[in-house]
Structure 1
Amino acid sequence: MRIGLVGTGRIGQSHAAALRARPEVEDLLLADAEPERARATAARIGARAADSVAELLNPGAIDALVIAAATPAHPDLILAGIAAEIPVFCEKPVAPTVDETLRVREEADRAKTPVHIGFMRRFDPGYVRAHRAVRSGELGALHRVHATTCDMAPPPEAYVASSGGLFRDCHVHDFDILRWVTGREVEEVFAYGANRGAAFFAEHGDVDTSAAVLRLDDGTLATLQGSRYNGAGYDVRMELAGSRSTLAVGLDEHVPLRSAEPGAAFPAGDPWEEFWSRFTPAYEAEISAFIAMVRDGTPSPCSVTDALEAVLVADAADLSRREHRPVRLAEVRP
């Protein structure tokens, strides 16, 4: 199997290393907007470097395409892969705008080319366990869900300026995993935001702290909290409470919490500091799933439509935050 990868920044380099370790991948070809970076990564992991994306996409050069480039490049690269009739993996989001996402979906559906969008939490063992617990009835009737995503330290201002905002950039993972774990759709959201840190968040129309209530299509209520300033560590969790049992994802020795109860020693491990160390097994499993999709022709484990639905929830949350009112998904749906 010959794989092409575009974008050799931090995530791209990690994906490249994971691909190079796969026995099915006999040839890995890297490209980047900065060709020297692609060459350096290729030399380090034993891959090959292309001088341009066009060279990487020459007819017959590769069997599948992995996209880890900057977000504005995503739609055109996905469409190039579809035009070449090769399966595509792309980090979220599909595109900077809903209109561009719809254009990509229309073309992928027309060509029937599998496109896998990178929402890695679907491959995290804890979330997989929660997915099975809900579907099997282990929890009983699901009464409530709570999700948390908190960064230890904020991203730089340059990133925030083009990120799309806290709900679209960060919480879109929560919205996707909420849909996947529960098997339900979000019907309405009421979201709040606050700025408790650097002034540049507000200057770019964003917030660094969030809270939201989401109503699912079966009446289940879900709550969400987030922050760019969680000094205790990187904190990503989900709690699902049912009529029979309650299950928590992310509650391990590395969760950045400390109990105020006398004699309580849990958790005792060093807190997670950032997303890659927390989700390394999930990223590796995600790439394995993509390889399996290419090899076996199985359906995409996270389609363009899935990614679009998560983004629509994020857009509804941001609209709610800005207008201080509940927003139904029907308001933002094209």
Structure 2
Amino acid sequence: MRVGLVGTGRIGESHAAAIARRPEVDELVLADVDAGRAREVAGRVGAHAAGSIEALLHPAAVDALVVTAATSAHAELILAGVRAGTPVFCEKPVAPTVAETVEVLREVDKREALVHIGFMRRFDAGYARARRALADGELGTLHRVHAVTCDAAPPPAGYVPTSGGIFRDCHVHDFDILRWVTGAEVVEVHAYGANRGAPYFAEAGDVDTTAAVLRLSDGTLATVQGSRYNGGGYDVRMELAGTAGTIAVGLDERAPVRSAEPGVSFPSQSPWQEFWSRFRPAYEAEIAAFLGAVRDGGPSPCTVADALEAVLVADAADRSRREGRPVLVEEVRP
């Protein structure tokens, strides 16, 4: 299989290294707006560098296309791949706006194309185990869910104005995995935000700390909390509580929490500090699933439609924060 990858920044290089190790990949070809960087990364991971991005977008140029470029280029690259008849994997988000996401969705559906959007938590062993526990009745009737996403350190000031805001940039993962694990849709969101750190978040119209209550279609209540400043480390967890039991995702030996109880040493190892080390097995499983779908002609493990639903929840949360009221997801649906 010949795979093309566009975008050789930090996450692009990590994906490239994972793809290069896949046994079904005979050749990996990288491209970037910075051709020199593409060559450097290709040398490090054992791939080849294309002369241009366009060289990977022609029909039959590659068997699969992986998009890890800047968010502003996602929609254009997905559509180019789809129109060339090439299966596409793209890191989230599909596009900077809901309108562009809908445009991509219509084209993908019209062509019945294979497009996989990168929400890697669906491939994390802990989230998969929680989903099975709920589906198999181990938890009884689900009553509440709590999700946390906290960065160990904030992103650079220059990143924030183009990030889409904390709900789109960070919590969109919580919203997607909440739908995937529970099988329910988010109906309403009441979100709050605060700025407790550097002023550049507020200057960009964003916040660095969040709390939200979500009402699901089956009546379950969920809470989501987040921060750009978590001194304990990179903290991503989920707790599901039902009438027959409670299960927690991310509560391992590297969880960035400490017990206040006497004699308790758990967790005993150094805490996670960033997303790739925490979710590396999930990222690798995600790429393996995409390449398997390409090989076998299977369905997308995470569709553009799935991505749209998560973004709509994020937009509802952001509107709720700005307007100081609960917002129905249907209010932001085009």
Q: Which moved further from structure 2: 184-193 or 50-59?
A: 50-59
Aligned residue for 2:139?
139
Q: Is the 8 A contact 2:59 2:86 kept in 1?
A: no
CA shift digits 1:154-203 (9 cap, x unpaired): 00011101001000100000000000000000000000000000001000
Aligned to 1:166: 166
Letter of the structure 1 residue corresponding to residue 145 of structure 2 = V
Q: CA deviation at 1:58?
A: 2.8
In the other structure, the counterpart of 1:212 is 212
Structure 1: distance between partners of 2:297 and 2:48: 26
Segment of structure 1 superposing worse, 146-155 or 43-52: 43-52
1:298 aligns with 2:281: no
Report how many residues are paired. 334
Query: C-alpha distance in 2, partners of 1:135/1:297?
Result: 27
Do residues 120 (structure 1) and 120 (structure 2) align?
yes
Q: How well do the aligned residues superpose, as a CA RMSD in angstroms?
A: 0.6
Q: Corresponding residue for 2:61?
A: 61
Could you tell me whether the CA contact under 8 Å between 2:59 and 2:85 is conserved in 1?
Answer: no
Q: Helix, strand or coil: the match of 2:302? A: coil
Task: Tell me which residue corresponds to 1:188.
Answer: 188
**Residue 247, structure 1, aligned to residue 247, structure 2:** yes
Structure 1 residues 213-228: aligned runs within 5 Å: 213-228=213-228
- The equivalent of 1:107 in structure 2 is 107
Partner of 1:33: 33
* Offset, 1:16: 0.6
Distance in structure 1 (CA, Å) of the matches to 2:61 and 2:85: 12
Deviating 4+ runs (over 3 angstroms): none
The alignment partner of 2:314 has SS state of helix
Q: Deviation per CA, 1:202-223, whole angstroms, max 9, x where unpaired?
A: 0000000000000001110000
The answer on whether the counterparts of 2:60 and 2:86 sit within 8 Å (CA) in structure 1 is no
In structure 1, the partner of 2:18 is 18
SS in structure 2 opposite 1:158?
A: coil
- Secondary structure of the residue aligned to 2:85 is coil
Partner of 2:284: 284
SS in 2 for 1:241: strand
Question: Per-residue CA shift, 1:15-34, capped at 9, x if unaligned?
Answer: 11111101110011100010
User: What CA distance in whole angstroms lies between the structure 2 residues aligned with 1:322 and 1:62?
Assistant: 44
Q: Is the CA contact (8 Å cut-off) linking 2:317 and 2:327 kept in structure 1?
A: yes
Aligned AA for 1:49? Answer: A
Shift of 1:135: 1.2
For 2:329 and 2:61, the matched residues in 1 are separated by 42
Distance in 1, matches of 2:260 and 2:280, equals: 30
Partner of 1:175: 175
Determine the structure 2 residue equivalent to 1:313: 313
Runs of 5+ unmatched residues, structure 1: none
Are residues 1:267 and 2:267 paired? yes
- Distance in 1, Cα, partners of 2:113 & 2:130: 30
Aligned partner of 2:83 in structure 1 is: 83
Say yes or no: does 1:50 pair with 2:50: yes
